[in-house]
A = this chain, B = another copy of it.
């Protein structure tokens, strides 16, 4: 057109936009290796439960650990604000939806976090013998992190909607990640991030992992409210590019953990095909029989007093956690037996390890138009 271009608009992809191409080699699913590690901690499965109050309680953190994964406890939520968090959860999940948002705003603003409850939670988890991970916002980190580590926490997640290595604030001296990493002796995982540049800068602070995902989760409306967000496939690919670049330069391998929007085995496979080292899931685990959310889920930005960016959604209760992860599945939509689905996806791609799976070919093939599906929509399923 000859018009000077104001800015380039790059194509970004989400889970429903892409499909994985099978490989030229196939392998038996039971030969796939899906272990991963962070620092000295090894996990049998590359799946982490989100630091959401409806997903991870001290009890389910223990359950996730025993099963071979990791559940991250939210230190800014109900478990550290209330002696009897279950009562509060019962209230939050029984109110009608049109009254839920103010109730949430109130439940989180009313009661402060209590330091002794942080210690209690961590000790309870550690006592069971599993690895203990806790999450907090950057604002809370200087206060909560030492308490949690002192009580025995093994991994610290520092998490806000968007986190960078350079935060500008007048009101308080921002958290300096390089100081945090040095001062506490456990691995630090930071997020959320979706861009190459921010990931590279955060890696340079010495953190051990990066959480990828702004705007994608089922319980999150950040993109509606602020317009900010990157679909998960592109977000993961860009952050994985930063990991490769950083690894090439320094020899240190920092994990990329995709967080949010993963509902099916297909999504889980795509996370790794996009370059992730592990995946953080909320909603699928909120559907577990053992989940504290009693069939509901909500994001950490839901209770924001002035600008809530999330909502309580009914997710239903599906099956015990172990069945959701390892099957057997009695549904065919990919929402159960996630780990077998990952192994089967890897087997079709010919990926022996998760690192191999990162090399899988992706195509842009929006699911909404995929053949057969239209037929099913038209005919219904009997």
Chain B residues, Cβ within 8 Å of A218: 371-372, 375-376
- How far, in angstroms, from A102 to B218 measured CA to CA in the complex? 29
Partner-contacting stretch, out of A60-68, A83-91, A116-124, A265-273: A265-273
Chain B residues, Cβ within 8 Å of A274: 6
Q: Do residues A364 and B10 form an inter-chain contact, with CB atoms below 8 A?
A: yes
Chain B residues, Cβ within 8 Å of A163: 26
Within 8 A of B (CB), among A89-122: 97, 101-102, 105
Verify if A186 is at the interface (C-beta below 8 Å from B): no
What are 7 contact pairs spanning A and B, CB under 8 A?
A7-B275, A9-B13, A30-B171, A217-B372, A306-B327, A306-B340, A367-B369
A19, A30, A302: most-surrounded residue (chain B CB, <10 A): A19
Chain B residues, Cβ within 8 Å of A315: 379
Verify if A206 is at the interface (C-beta below 8 Å from B): no
Q: Do residues A334 and B169 form an inter-chain contact, with CB atoms below 8 A?
A: no
A31-B168, A306-B328 provided; 7 other pairs, C-beta below 8 A? A6-B240, A15-B227, A21-B194, A30-B170, A227-B266, A265-B307, A267-B371
Which single residue of chain B is at the shortest CB-CB distance from A99?
B330
Contact (A270, B371) CB under 8 Å given A28-B171, A241-B5, A310-B332:
no
Verify if A184 is at the interface (C-beta below 8 Å from B): no
Q: What mask results when residues 9 to 36 of chain A are scored 1 for a CB within 8 Å of chain B, else 0?
A: 1111111111111111111101100000
- How far, in angstroms, from A251 to B296 measured CA to CA in the complex? 57
